[in-house]
Amino acid sequence: MTRSLPVLLFATGVYGQFTFPDCANGPLKNVTICDPSASPLARAKSLVALYTLEEKINATSSGAPGVPRLGVPPYQWWSEGLHGIAGPYTNFSDNGEWSYSTSFPQPILMGAAFDDDLITEVAKVISTEARAFNNANRTGLDFWTPNINPFRDPRWGRGQETPGEDAYHLSSYVQALVHGLQGESTDPYKRVVATCKHFAGYDVEDWNGNLRYQNDVQITQQELVEYYLAPFQACVQANVGAFMCSYNAVNGVPPCADPYLLQTILREHWGWTNEEQWVTGDCDAVQNVYLPHQWSSTRAGAAADSLVAGTDVTCGTYMQEHLPTAFQQKLLNETSLDQALIRQYSSLVRLGYFDAPESQPYRQLGFDAVATNASQALARRAATEGIVLLKNDGTLPLSLDSSMTVGLFGDWANATDQLLGNYAGVATYLHSPLYALNQTGVKINYAGGNPGGQGDPTTNRWSTLYGAYSTSDVLIYVGGIDNSVEEEGHDRGYLTWTGAQLDVIGQLADTGKPVIVVVTGGGQIDSSPLVNNPNISAIMWAGYPGQDGGSAIIDIISGKTAPAGRLPQTQYPANYTAAVNMMDMNLRPGENNPGRTYKWYNGSATFEFGYGMHYTNFSAAITTQMQQNYSISSLASGCNSTGGFLERCPFASVDVQVHNTGNVTSDYVTLGYMAGSFGPAPYPKKSLVSYKRLHGIAGGATSTATLNLTLASLARVDEHGNKVLYPGDYSLQIDNNALASINFTLTGEQAMLDMWPQPPANRSSAGVKGIGNYWYGGYGSGYASLPASEQMAM
């Protein structure tokens, strides 16, 4: 979704209006919707039954106008909370109270922490601050977050919004996040409603003219199940309140109008059937069902097809504008519309929208719950936990005191807004590396307006550079990429450093002084020239570290906090972009594809997924005794299926004893991989099946991580999308370099854990119709660039 246009283009008069119905004295006071003893379903049905057809149709818009005659106020379904409350309909004051909130690091950096408990804490802060803002009528209760599409290709402009490339990692992350945002399903009220997006196969913005709203991605059933849909199934397992269907088509069909994805898979196969769970279309996604996808032959048909398929509300006014015609043409019945509204209002019931505020603790929150000392400390901790040490010749950590002079360089050296990345609200403060370094008491030579930076392809200001490094003891360069080259609507075409940054760093390295490079940005860039330069002392990756990112960077450099983050994505060499077509969705290697992600890439990565150094050393040992052989039939028949899914059945809890053999207290991320030649060829190199972050292991001390494995940890997906337990030799390996491992064998006949529903045959649209200078952000009327004849045809 775009961030800049909606406030101007979507002026429906509901900006900032998040008031509540008056169930004590209003027109609905004697209606079941206002009876807290009734079920959410009964309450929602009682309200929908009072609506006229016109009022029902109006309620399909994300900016629902309400029903004044019934005392139902306008409601805005669109708020954002990717790493703090944000979005076009979140209203910050100019100053004072309500002028800021906590802004955490981007998910790509928090994902590098591999700490699900941290993610739950972060989500709780976001949902708490959201409730406080909502009580002041400044934001909504429904948040269109998280973006849980896997970061398949490092060129993707929105990869920064995701936790990384691995489907298991994303699945574990999103369950922790949803629990923090929504609370537990048994709680009397939800904190907020989270929305898992973008369902499905969405990870291209505008690569080589392949635009996100018109892409038809071709994905095999095997990889659709094991990779592209896996995080979304985890959303269902976490009982997420909403899904968002995406712009693109998948195997010929736009998801917003696809009953196979929205009904057969999401609601029936996965069991996402609670009355309060609803689907929204992304902005213009329902419009795209007609043009450019041409799945539906008219605009009214696109609105009807989407609603009937299971899209309950859409960003913008498209269904609101075109459902009247669809009803006139008898393209749908009112039952489908009622079902959509019942889901929406059941959700609002679970949020306490119709209940007295006195009985709800979340309705009591004020500004004193926003940007607390604890939340500010958590934002800094989230950044330090994610920062990854990539190279260190012993220079780090630095002892920063008044006797040292530090030269500070790079586009990000005094970064403020850059720290946040996209989908950011107004942060409490913005602490740059320069600010944080100033707090240490060191002398600083700062090369402001650094030559060779993001927007400077030249090296014509060397005198500034020389003046800063000539009298410095150690040199720190902070730079990489930012939202000027990677963002929503824009993919990169390269993995190299931008501008003349490498030339600048090379000049620093030639001084013979210690040089520390801090790499920024969401998508990885090829740092092999720095890795291979012996005069570069240390490299660390800091992503988009949030409001206190500068402090977090200096915390790691100074050793105040020891690094323990792990790369959440593979860092490919720069020539990877020439070898791989971004629109090739296949993960497995092929004739023109060296493979994707750590599981399948057959080239030499600059840095592997899961890579990360420490200021100390660790050893590991598996202390759990496991059988040498397991009978497949016994594993399957002895399982008490969890929610009807055999794959969720526990297999083993494996204790890993981690020993800090050095002297520096440090966290350690225990990564558990499964490897072996079992199931259908080709075989992945290894697959992440569990992880656990251990905290504060002192030098010489030992801590234990328990890795919980399920039958899914052993399963493979066949070519039809079925999850199967196969006979063969298995190896559980700890960490990227297999610090410890344990081997076992599964014997007997293969067993089906989950039979995947096959899509209907002959599913294809009339083909994408190019529409030239497409007007992003029209949200229901966005076809101004079309010839008049085509506008009328819509």
Catalytic residues: 282
- 446: helix, strand or coil: strand
The answer to whether residues 375 and 129 touch, using CB atoms and an 8 Å cutoff, is yes
Distance CA 487, CA 212 (A): 13
Q: Which of 66, 64, 61 is nearest to 323 (CA)?
A: 61
- 253: helix, strand or coil: strand
The answer to whether residues 659 and 702 touch, using CB atoms and an 8 Å cutoff, is yes
H or E stretch covering 666 = strand 666-675
Partnered with residue 717 across adjacent β-strands are 723
The answer to whether residues 693 and 668 touch, using CB atoms and an 8 Å cutoff, is yes
Task: From residue 116, give the alpha-carbon distance in Å to each of 107, 170, 233.
Answer: 12, 10, 17
CB atoms within 10 A of CB 775: 16
The answer to whether residues 684 and 656 touch, using CB atoms and an 8 Å cutoff, is no
Tell me the two tokens of residue 540: 């660390």
Q: What are phi and psi of 86, to 5 degrees?
A: -165, -170
Task: From residue 664, give the alpha-carbon distance in Å to each of 393, 400, 565, 614, 696.
Answer: 16, 17, 16, 9, 9
DSSP state of 553: H
- 120: helix, strand or coil: helix
Rg of the chain in Å (alpha carbons): 27
The answer to whether residues 420 and 546 touch, using CB atoms and an 8 Å cutoff, is yes
Q: Which of 388, 331, 769, 372 is nearest to 569 (CA)?
A: 388
Q: Residues with Cβ < 8 Å from 333, sequence gap 6 or more?
A: none
Q: Which of 503, 541, 604, 575 is nearest to 391 (CA)?
A: 541
The answer to whether residues 505 and 435 touch, using CB atoms and an 8 Å cutoff, is no
- 431: helix, strand or coil: coil
The answer to whether residues 515 and 509 touch, using CB atoms and an 8 Å cutoff, is yes
Query: DSSP characters for 620-645?
Result: EEE-S---SEEEHHHHHHT---BTTB
Query: DSSP characters for 469-533?
Result: HTT-SEEEEEEE--TTTSBTTB--S--SPPTTHHHHHHHHHTTTS-EEEEEESSS----HHHHT-
Distance CA 80, CA 314 (A): 15
Distance CA 459, CA 450 (A): 9
- On the question of a cis peptide bond just before residue 198, with omega within 30 degrees of 0, the verdict is yes
The answer to whether residues 107 and 169 touch, using CB atoms and an 8 Å cutoff, is no
Partnered with residue 407 across adjacent β-strands are 445, 475
The answer to whether residues 767 and 214 touch, using CB atoms and an 8 Å cutoff, is no
Distance CA 392, CA 647 (A): 41
Query: DSSP characters for 350-397?
Result: HTTTTS-GGG-GGGG--GGGSS-HHHHHHHHHHHHHH-EEEEESS-PS
Task: From residue 404, give the alpha-carbon distance in Å to each of 505, 538, 560.
Answer: 21, 18, 17
The answer to whether residues 217 and 210 touch, using CB atoms and an 8 Å cutoff, is no
Distance CA 237, CA 643 (A): 9
